[in-house]
Amino acid sequence: MVYYPKSDALNRLPKQFFADLVVKTNAEIAKGYDVINLGQGNPDQPTPPHIVRSLQEAAANPLYHKYSPFRGYDFLKEAIASFYKREYAVDLDPKSEVAILFGSKTGLVEVGECLLNSGDTVLMPDPGYPDYLSGFALANLKVEPMPLVKANAFLPDYSALSPAVLDRAKMMILNYPNNPTAATAPADFFEETVRVAEQNNLCVVHDFAYGALGFDGQKQRSFLQTPGAKDVGIEMYTLSKTYNMAGWRVGFALGNKSVIEAIELIQDHYYVSLFGGIQEAAATALLSSQDCVHELVARYEERRNAFFGAAEAIGWHAEPSRGSFFGWLPVPKGYHSVSFCDDVLQKAHVVLAPGLGFGANGDDFIRVGLLTEPDRLVEAVKRIGELHYFG
């Protein structure tokens, strides 16, 4: 058999950091241990029944058995615009300011290729969602990290970026509520972001994947609510977290018309849009009662309270999450993130995600997924507490 080497683009792809964690976890499960997996980010609840019914009914429509319009059905784009108007008071032109995505991950991976050229510079949060790097690698971009540190509420400090870096950079990635830190962004931060983008000719790409998940009565802010935001960038949203539709692969990009056109152009060549039945069900999710979303947020808040209450009781001090379905907690003295997670897995049979997997600035922390019920979360903390890491 002839061996055909991979392209340079594929060889630039980063190694999947968490692949080793999966192997270690499966090894413990194979030994027969009751493993509590808090290391993943996959929603654990089913899609609401009314959305499933919408797909079931739409699947019988012969119209959807043909190719969909390349850029998606107008009814879904109009539903997206209505959703943003209702939820965030943001006006969007469905025809020119909305692009339908095969999940927001696809949009985040392809946006660099849409706008930048080989060797261009992009600003990325550190720690940040690892798959941002995949798109940058495929487009052969240079990455400049923006450190997210506790002292600055896990927000980038633009004043700490050198003028030379800002001059070179052509794109900035942001993500609030944040994965992995669970931090949120206030209005004045987004206002500063627009100013920095205007002054340095930066395209802002805001990943709003966890936009529905805010706690303590706080509604998360869309970047597009900021005056001037559509002049300098876009926002990407997904139905994966809001409606437990991770496997359905429905997302959208919103905002700057030139960026939306570029995304739709590249997708004209990659895809023939989503199955029409899924588009109809997505419109149902966006336009029908949002009680299922409110119930989901309440469920995650209950889990957050249970986990952080238990953690505080064993001396594991951390600020409770403000958004997303993650927790971000410090590692104990004498450990870094990987060694702590390995120790906890082997001794307590609890899976935690090492902060190092999200960037060098994450190595003093671990990420917890609040994706199991409160009793299991409390049990996980109890097992960790019995090892006396925190005094």
Beta strand extents in the chain (DSSP E only): 36-37, 98-101, 121-126, 142-147, 169-175, 203-207, 233-238, 251-255, 326-330, 350-351, 353-354, 365-369
* Contact between 137 and 108 (Cβ < 8 Å): no
What's the whole-number mean pLDDT along residues 266-286? Answer: 95
Cis omega (within 30 of 0) for bond into 48: no
- CA–CA distance, 304 with 86 (Å, rounded to integer): 27
The pLDDT assigned to 15 comes to 86
pLDDT for res 197? 97
Given this model, what pLDDT does residue 222 score? 98
> What mean pLDDT comes out for the span 230-250?
97
Using the predicted structure, report yes or no on whether residue 233 has a pLDDT greater than 90: yes
Q: What separation in angstroms does the CA of 122 have from each of 10, 72, 137? A: 19, 29, 11
Structure tokens at 206: 């805001």
Three-state secondary-structure class, residue 84: helix
pLDDT at 367 (0 to 100): 97
Domain covering 49-287 in this structure, CATH number: 3.40.640.10
pLDDT mean over 105-122? 95
CA distances from 177 to 102, 140, 374 (A): 21, 28, 22
Distance of CA 234 to the CA centre of its chain: 15
pLDDT above 80 (res 391) = no
Percent of the chain past pLDDT 90, that is, above it, reads 96
Of the pLDDT bands very low, low, confident and very high (cuts 50, 70, 90), residue 275 is very high
Element at 339 (helix H, strand E): helix 337-348
What token pair was written down for 235? Answer: 């926002």
Length in residues, the chain: 391
pLDDT tens for residues 13-40?
Answer: 998 888 888 899 999 999 999 999 999 8
% residues pLDDT > 70 (the chain): 100
Which amino acid would we find at residue 336? H
Residue 136, classified by CB atoms within 10 Å of its CB into exposed (0-12), middle (13-18) or buried (19+), is buried
The whole-number pLDDT of residue 20 equals 85
160 pLDDT band, cuts 50/70/90, is: very high
The model's pLDDT over 77-103, given as tens digits with 9 standing for 90+, comes to 999 999 999 999 999 999 999 999 999
DSSP structure string for 24-93: HHHHHHHTT---EE-S-----SPPPHHHHHHHHHHTT-GGGGSPPPTT--HHHHHHHHHHHHHHH-----
Instruction: Looking at the structure, give the CATH architecture of the domain made up of residues 8-46+292-385.
Output: Alpha-Beta Complex (3.90)
| 323 DSSP 8-state letter | B
Q: What is the pLDDT of residues 127-137, one digit of tens each?
A: 999 999 999 99
Q: How confident is the model at residue 176 (pLDDT cuts 50, 70, 90)?
A: very high
pLDDT at residue 278, rounded to an integer: 97
Please give the Cα distance from 73 to 212 (Å, whole number).
24
**What span, in angstroms and rounded, lies between the C-alpha atoms of 253 and 238?**
9
Cα separation, 242 vs 121, in Å, equals 32
Q: Does 228 have pLDDT greater than 90?
A: yes
Instruction: Please state the pTM of the whole predicted model.
Output: 0.95
How confident is the prediction for the chain on average, in pLDDT? 96
Domain boundaries, the chain: 8-46+292-385, 49-287
Tell me the CB-side half-sphere exposure of residue 161, using CA atoms within 13 A: 25
